[in-house]
Amino acid sequence: MFYISTRDSNKKKYKYTETLLEWLAPDWGLFIPYEYPQISKKELESLKNSPYTDIAFSIKQKFVWWDIPDDILKNLVKNAYRKDKFPDSINWNITPVRKIDENLYIQNLSLWPTAAFKDMAMQFLWQEMNYELTKKWEKLTILWATSWDTWSAAEAAMKGLDSIKLFMLSPEIGMSSFQKAQMWSLSWWNIINISIKWRFDDCQDMVKDLKNSKEFSKLWAVNSINWWRISSQVAYYFSGYLQVVDKIGEEVDFCIPSGNFGNVLSWYIAKKMWLPIRKLIIATNENNVLDRLFKTWVYSLSPASITSSPSMDISKASNYERLVFELLDKNADKLSDYMNTFSEKGTVNLSDYWISVENLKTMWFLSGSSSHFDRLNTIKWVYEKSKTYIDPHTADGIKVARDLRDENIKTICMETALAVKFEDTIKEAIWHIPERETRFKNLENLNMSDSFYLQSVDREELKEFIKNN
C-alpha cells in the first residue's frame, strides 16, 4: 500500500503519513493510493452490527498499512469518536440510518459537535495529526479563513491538542448570530479567533498574502482535499450499508449532496474496495457544475451563486481531479494536460482524451440538481412523511434521489448538516422550527466575547500579532 501524486509521471511512492503534513504533493498534484485495498465478504459480515469505531478502524487500517501501529490507530479512532462527544446519539450509533419512505433512507453524519458532517472526518484527522507531530517533536501553526462549517468543525476537533496552534480569521460582515456564537463557544488556549474588519473574501486574501511572504511560508492550511480527510470518510458508506441490508452482497444506491466532490470520492473508493454498491446519485443545488459534468463529461467553470444550501456553492470541484486521474489510466501527463486546459479555457471535455462517452455513461454515476423551491418542498415532504426535520443540503440530496432512484432498490441519502443550522429556510418551508438539540439551546445568549483574542484587525496588525504569538 503506497500513494502517488496525480501530477507525477515518475510515480514516486509516498507512505500514508507522508500524505498528511503536506496537503498537496510537491508537484501540486493530489495524493491517491496506487491501488485500492480490498474488503472481503467475510470481513464485511464480521462488521455487521459492529460499532462505528470498529468499522472506522478496519477501513482506515487498510489505508494506513502499518504506518501507524494498529494499537495506536485503534486508540486514535476511539478518542476521535468517544461516547461523550455524541450526546444525541442513541446507543452510540454515531452515523444512524432512518427510514423515510419505502426503500428510502437518510444516514445522519451530523450528530456532533457542530452539526456538520465534516466534523466526523476532521475529528479523526486531528487525532492522527497530533500523533504524527508529537512523534516528530514538531508543532504546527495553522492560519485559516474558511466557511464557518468547516471551520467550527476544525476548531472543535483541535481544541486542546498540544502540537497545534490555530489562528482563525473570520469576517465581521456576513455571519449570523448562531454562527458567531458557535465559534465563540469554541475558543481555547490553542485556538485564536481573529475577527477581520471586512468580508470573507478579504480574509482569504489575507491568508494567501501571508503565505506568499517568506516570513510566513511555513504556516499550514486545512482544506477538503487532504487525503486523510477523504480516507476517513470511506467508513460512512460501510456503516450505512451494513445498517440497511438484510444480507451482505445485496446492492444499494447512495445519494450525496455534493460540493467539492470530497464525499463522492470517498463513496467511489468504498465501491472500489468492493462494498456492494450499485449507483451513486450526485446531487447539486443551482450551482450545478457537477451535474453538468456527469451528464456530458464536459467540466466547465461557472461563477458560484449564493443559495440556501451554501456549503454546496462551488464553481469547481477540487477532488474531482482524483477521479479523472483514474479515468485517464493514471497517466499524470494526460491529467496535467486536462487540468491545464480547464484552468486556461475554463472548460474541458473528457471525450477529447480518448475516453468514450458511451463507456462513461455506463459507469456508476447519476446526477441531478435542485432549486430553492425544490428544497422547500422536500423539507416539507420529509416533515409530513416522517415528522423529521432535514436541512437544505440534505433536501437537495433527497430531491434528486426521489427523481432518479430505482424504487426496487434501497437508496441511502447522506444527511450532511442538521436543520438547526438553517432555521430560516426550515421556517420558510414548514412555518415553524424544530426544538433545538440541548447542546444548541441558548447558544446566542452565551457571553463569550472574551474569547476573541483580537477584534477588528487590519493586515499589518495581523502580521504583527501572529509574529508575536
Residues noted as catalytic: 118
Q: Which of 395, 451, 385, 386 is nearest to 418 (CA)?
A: 395
Near ligand PLP by CB under 6 A, which window of 6-14, 71-79, 255-263, 375-383?
Answer: 255-263
Q: Report the distance separating Cα 16 and Cα 33, nearest Å.
A: 9
Q: Which three cell numbers stand for residue 57?
A: 478502524
CB of 314 to ligand PLP, least distance (A): 7
Q: Which is nearer to ligand PLP, 114 or 185 (CB)?
A: 114
Q: Report the distance separating Cα 270 and Cα 215, nearest Å.
A: 41
Among 222, 259, 321, 375, binds ligand PLP (CB under 6 A): 259
Residue identified by cell 496525480 is: 6
Near ligand PLP by CB under 6 A, which window of 9-17, 243-251, 256-264, 366-374?
Answer: 256-264
Among 258, 287, 288, 367, binds ligand PLP (CB under 6 A): 258
Near ligand PLP by CB under 6 A, which window of 74-82, 258-266, 356-364, 369-377?
Answer: 258-266
Encode burial over 171-199: b for 16+ CB neighbours within 10 A, e otherwise.
beeebeebbbbbbbbbbeebbbbbbbeee
CB 16 within 8 A of CB 65: yes
Q: Report the distance separating Cα 22 and Cα 18, nearest Å.
A: 7
CB of 157 to ligand PLP, least distance (A): 14
Query: For residue 457, what are the β-bridge partners?
Result: 196
Residue of minimal CB distance from ligand PLP? 262
Q: Which of 310, 308, 312 is nearest to 426 (CA)?
A: 308
Q: Which is nearer to ligand PLP, 190 or 319 (CB)?
A: 319
Q: Which is nearer to ligand PLP, 53 or 284 (CB)?
A: 284
Q: Which is nearer to ligand PLP, 33 or 257 (CB)?
A: 257
Q: Which is nearer to ligand PLP, 232 or 311 (CB)?
A: 311
Rounded (5°) CA angle 296-300-304: 120
The residues in 142-181 that bind ligand PLP, with binding defined as CB under 6 A, are 149
Near ligand PLP by CB under 6 A, which window of 122-130, 262-270, 332-340, 398-406?
Answer: 262-270
Residue ranges of the alpha helices (H) in 273-412?
289-296, 320-327, 332-345, 357-361, 372-386, 392-404
Among 96, 113, 262, 368, binds ligand PLP (CB under 6 A): 262
Among 261, 268, 299, 342, binds ligand PLP (CB under 6 A): 261
The residues in 30-59 that bind ligand PLP, with binding defined as CB under 6 A, are none
The residues in 70-109 that bind ligand PLP, with binding defined as CB under 6 A, are none
Largest CA distance in the chain: 62
Q: According to the binding rule CB under 6 A, does residue 224 interact with ligand PLP?
A: yes
CB of 396 to ligand PLP, least distance (A): 8
**From the centroid of its chain, how far is CA 17?**
20
Q: Give first-to-last CA distance, the chain, whole Å.
A: 40
Sheet order of strands, 140-145 included:
140-145, 164-171, 191-196, 452-457
Q: Which is nearer to ligand PLP, 317 or 457 (CB)?
A: 317
CB of 45 to ligand PLP, least distance (A): 29
Residue identified by cell 446531487 is: 283
The residues in 106-135 that bind ligand PLP, with binding defined as CB under 6 A, are 116, 118
Q: Which of 227, 161, 265, 248 is nearest to 4 (CA)?
A: 227
CA dist 278 to 162, 358, 364, Å?
43, 18, 7
CB of 331 to ligand PLP, least distance (A): 25
Beta strand pairing status for 252-257 and 365-369?
unpaired
CB of 304 to ligand PLP, least distance (A): 13
Among 170, 411, 416, 425, binds ligand PLP (CB under 6 A): 416
Q: According to the binding rule CB under 6 A, does residue 239 interact with ligand PLP?
A: no
What is the contact mask toward ligand PLP in residues 360 to 399, using x (rule: CB under 6 A)?
---------------------------------x------
Among 146, 311, 370, 411, binds ligand PLP (CB under 6 A): 311
Near ligand PLP by CB under 6 A, which window of 15-23, 86-94, 253-261, 455-463?
Answer: 253-261
Strand segments, DSSP code E, in 56-162 are 97-101, 104-108, 140-145
Residue ranges of the alpha helices (H) in 273-371?
289-296, 320-327, 332-345, 357-361
Q: According to the binding rule CB under 6 A, does residue 417 interact with ligand PLP?
A: yes
Q: State which H helix or E strand residue 154 sits in.
A: helix 148-158
CB 342 within 8 A of CB 19: no
Q: Which is nearer to ligand PLP, 96 or 392 (CB)?
A: 392
Near ligand PLP by CB under 6 A, which window of 181-189, 251-259, 450-458, 460-468?
Answer: 251-259
Q: Which is nearer to ligand PLP, 165 or 322 (CB)?
A: 322
Q: Which is nearer to ligand PLP, 120 or 312 (CB)?
A: 312
Q: Report the distance separating Cα 380 and Cα 101, nearest Å.
A: 14
Rounded (5°) CA angle 363-366-370: 160
Which residues contact ligand PLP by CB under 6 A?
116, 118, 149, 224, 257-264, 311-312, 393, 416-417
